[in-house]
A = this chain, B = another copy of it.
């Protein structure tokens, strides 16, 4: 479901920029597409290592940035924690409820809020391009 298209997007982006499609890129892309939500660079590095033990951390880092540039990945920074990435291609936009106790991320979406954000920006002569809404609190399990 979308893996081939995702690969095409990455491959085409690489080619358009005059870059080269390497075994490492293929491996990193594959591991990313197989990954769960909100992974860190370390998570992906560990995952890729399983099939490609000679991979370097910097290579994973660089390619995660490339995947972000071409729209396959989305970078999210929470509090003082390290950067996390989630799949973007084929995934709807959403915001996050973040549990302050267990760290769980709950993905949410509210079209009314999205619309009001647009109006709010407009009222301030501001052209919105992207936004981040994070609600911190306590999840069901943690109380």
Contacts and interface: CB of A to CB of B under 8 A. Distances in A.
Given A77-B77, A134-B132, A120 B127 contact: no
Contacts of A56: none
Given A132-B133, A135-B131, A136-B128, A113 B106 contact: no
A140 interface: yes
When all copies of this chain in the complex are counted, the total is: 2
Contact of A106 (B99, B126, B129, B139): B126
A37 to B, nearest CB: 16
Interface residues of A, number: 33
Contact of A138 (B79, B116, B127, B140): B127
Contact of A120 (B108, B117, B131): B108
